Chain A
Amino acid sequence: MKPVNKLIQQDGAIQDRAIFWDEDIYQKEMEEIFARCWLFLTHESIIPDEGDYQSTMMGEDSVVVARQKDGSIKAFVNSCTHRGNAVCFSDGGNAKSFTCPYHGWVFGMDGNLVDVPLEKQAYHNEIDKDALHLKKIRVESYKGFVFGTFDDEAPSLKDYLGGMAWYMDSFMDVPGGCELIGPPMKSILDCNWKNPTENFIGDGYHVGWAHASALEIAGGPLAIAKGNAVYDAETSGLQVTVPEGHGFGVIWEGAAALHGGPVFEAYQKWLDDRSPLIREKMGEHREKFYRGHWDAAIFPNCSFLYGTNTFKMWQPRGPHSIEVLTWTLVEKEMPDQLKQMIHTDNMLTFGTAGILESDDGENMEQCTQTNRGYSTRQGTLYLGMGKGHEYLDPELPGLVSKGWVNEAPQRGMYRRWAEFMEGKPWSELSTTAQLEQKKVGG
């Protein structure tokens, strides 16, 4: 592997193409990023009752996340401690325990080994069941969104989210909070996991061009972006990157804008009715973010569009493939009918057959696959748009830039990527807190 300072240069603006292709870089990512970061597991609303569970992935590790007797949530690796078979084969459900299909070891919903066949006769009661629990995963929730990490040294989930949490509160912390509608759609895309992450974190630029056909059809207020016909860099929106690597772009007043006709009207009315509450609880800034449309990513591989309300995971499957998982994000207190309308629109626009999402699959894949060529791969890629125009805003966390067409969040993502890939301990990784001190210090 080339040294990290050769892979990411000019403060995130230049990336070596090897980062989308090389197996050794990918293996290093599994170790330095996916085995260390907080990774999205599920939402509390999906596993409300004792024994409810979901199976999912953390990097390439299969895991199960389950609601416990005491209401807490635990997660463990889905691999038997006897000979390594998987113990859970369903997408989710409700269970009291999992029995391994190979030799019948039984694991509780907390991952503890509770029973083994022929314990007395064949093991002579000498097996130390306490030591043979499934590998446990640290779990924390933020406003109902459940994350796990393999790293005991990792900071709290809230600190990991850093400044992003302050922004996400604009919708996650509405009265009643948010929930996700599943089960997720799942599909395979032959791209590197970073391609869609960088697309969601800050790629406002592609919208007018890549989605020209869909914008023509969708016809909501966002359709003006078609063919890049109308764009005002000063007033249209903002982009934000926080030192923790997360980021987003926001189009002001755009939350409902990709929804057409009656959905737009119903959703806009909901937003209008809710806004005073948000302002009262969280202030004017967050009210503005609440009413905006976001493209966003939580480092490393979770993305969402707030407003259109698609919620995605990009699960890596080697350097050149991912599994895409898609849920719908809604506010819990929305009337059922509005939830249903938003859900239907999300399936129509950003699902596996989505009229917008289908435009992107090819872009994602080719951005990875062209690097198959040895000589192609010797080159670098450019994310310099708006570089040097980021600023510290005294009232907003992170680094801000004007307009929603910009590449500042992508640069932030790659700066973070480089920090992890250098193997820095948590104490040496950048934080929003440090950045805030800089603001105060001037």
Chain B
Amino acid sequence: MHNTEAKERVSSELHYELSQHYYQEATLLQNGEFNTWIETFVAKDLHYWMPVTERRYSKDKRPEPTPYDMAIYNDDYDEVKDRVARLLTGAVWMEDPRSTVRYLITNIEAFHTDKDDEFVVRSNFVVYRHRGQLEHSEHVGCRQDLIRKVGNGFQLARRKVSLDARVTEDKNLYIFF
């Protein structure tokens, strides 16, 4: 589950390393290097989750969505790998010519957990997508990740993506956030 307890903030060196990792991740995704991303930046015990959050009145006491509820992404490693593999079949007509996707990653806050090699990292994003001649969309939200130190780098073990929009103003969300 996602709520691995966040403890104190990481040092500035570690914060720097982590933010570099996030920028590299964005670069891979922007360049369509999905295989490198899934093979080196993603842990095998991944849970990649984008819940659907209803608009509810504040007095509504129903619990927040869990991974048993409706979600736009609710994937384990193999499912994300399948999504990557589809993009590389050469038969995704709407991605030929390719669309361009740009990630702006900000507000990175990183915390220790009770495991030495695992960190909770929160970040905000704006993702812009342009397609064809005039088509464009933007998606704004935040991510809560569990990141694991592996060798010289980091791997993503959990990602909860929270979109700000209730209704997606785009024909699909087949974008890795």
Binding site for B on A (CB under 8 A): 89-95, 181-190, 210, 212-214, 216-217, 323, 327-328, 340, 343-344, 347-348, 351-355, 357-359, 361-362, 364-365
Task: Decide yes or no: A190 and B171 within 8 Å by CB, A213-B86, A353-B73, A362-B94 being known contacts.
Answer: yes
Inter-chain contact A92/B86, CB cutoff 8 Å: no
- Residues 48 to 62 of chain B near chain A (Cβ within 8 Å): 50, 52, 54-57, 60, 62
**Interface contact B94-A91, CB-CB below 8 Å:** no
Asked if A212 and B91 sit within 8 Å, CB to CB, the answer is yes
Given contacts A185-B52, A187-B170, A348-B79, contact A90 B72 (CB under 8 A): no
Given contacts A91-B56, A217-B82, A355-B86, contact A184 B70 (CB under 8 A): yes
Known: A188-B167, A353-B172. A362 touches B93 (CB 8 A): yes
**Closest B residue by C-beta to A214:** B86
A90-B55, A91-B54 are known contacts. Are A344 and B167 too (CB-CB below 8 A)?
Answer: no
19 extra A-B contacts, CB within 8 A, seeds A348-B75, A353-B172 = A90-B57, A94-B60, A184-B52, A184-B70, A187-B168, A188-B169, A213-B92, A216-B86, A217-B85, A340-B68, A347-B70, A348-B79, A352-B168, A353-B173, A355-B83, A358-B94, A359-B93, A359-B94, A361-B171
Instruction: Please give, as numbers and ranges, the residues of chain B lying within 8 Å of A361 by CB-CB distance.
Output: 94, 171-172
User: Given the complex of chains A and B, what is the CA–CA distance between A91 and B62 in angstroms?
Assistant: 13
Q: How large is the interface on B (under 10, 10 to 19, 20 to 34, 35 or more residues)?
A: 35 or more
Contacts of B71 in A (CB 8 A): 347
Q: Are B70 and A183 in contact (CB under 8 A)?
A: yes
The reply on B74 being an interface residue by CB < 8 A is: yes
Name the A residues within 8 Å of B175 (CB-CB).
353
List 5 A-B pairs, minimum CB-CB distance, nearest first: A361-B171, A187-B168, A362-B94, A213-B91, A91-B54
Whether B60 lies near A90 (C-beta < 8 A) is yes
Chain A-chain B contacts (Cβ-Cβ < 8 Å), number = 112
Q: Which residues on the A side are within 8 Å of B173 (C-beta)? A: 187, 352-353
Determine how close the nearest CB of chain A comes to the CB of B45; give it in whole angstroms.
17
User: B174 an interface residue at 8 Å Cβ cutoff?
Assistant: yes
Q: Give A269 to B90 CA distance when docked, in angstroms.
A: 34
B174's partner among A186, A212, A347, A353 (CB-CB below 8 A) is A353
Q: A181-B70, A184-B70, A348-B75 are in contact. Are A212 and B89 (CB under 8 A)?
A: yes
**Considering the chains assembled together, what is the distance between the CA atoms of A340 and B79 in angstroms?**
15
Of the residues A183, A213, A328, A344, contact of B89 by C-beta under 8 Å = A213
Contacts of B94 in A (CB 8 A): 358-359, 361-362
Shortest beta-carbon distance from B88 to chain A in Å: 9
For residue B115, CB closer than 8 A to chain A, the reply is no
CB-CB < 8 A to B79: which residues of A? 348
**CA A309 to CA B50, docked complex, whole Å:** 20
Supposing A181-B70, A362-B93 touch, asked if A90 and B56 sit within 8 A by C-beta, the answer is yes
Flag if B70 contacts A182 (CB, 8 Å).
Answer: yes
A90 and B54 in contact, given A186-B168, A188-B170 (Cβ under 8 angstroms)? yes
The chain A residue sitting closest to B166, CB to CB, is A186
Given A216-B91, A347-B72: A354 touches B172 (CB 8 Å cut-off): yes
Q: How far is the CA of A348 from the CA of B71 in the complex (A)?
A: 9
Q: How far is the CB of A367 from chain B (nearest CB, A)?
A: 12
Can you report 9 A-B residue pairs in the complex whose CB atoms are below 8 A from each other?
A90-B60, A182-B70, A187-B168, A188-B167, A214-B86, A353-B172, A353-B174, A361-B172, A362-B171
Q: Is the CB of B70 within 8 A of A185?
A: yes
Q: Nearest Cβ distance between residue A99 and chain B, in whole angstroms?
A: 11
Query: Which of chain B's residues have a CB closer than 8 A to the CB of A362?
Result: 93-94, 171
The residue on A at minimum CB distance from B71 is A347
B167 partner residues in chain A, CB cutoff 8 A: 186-188, 323
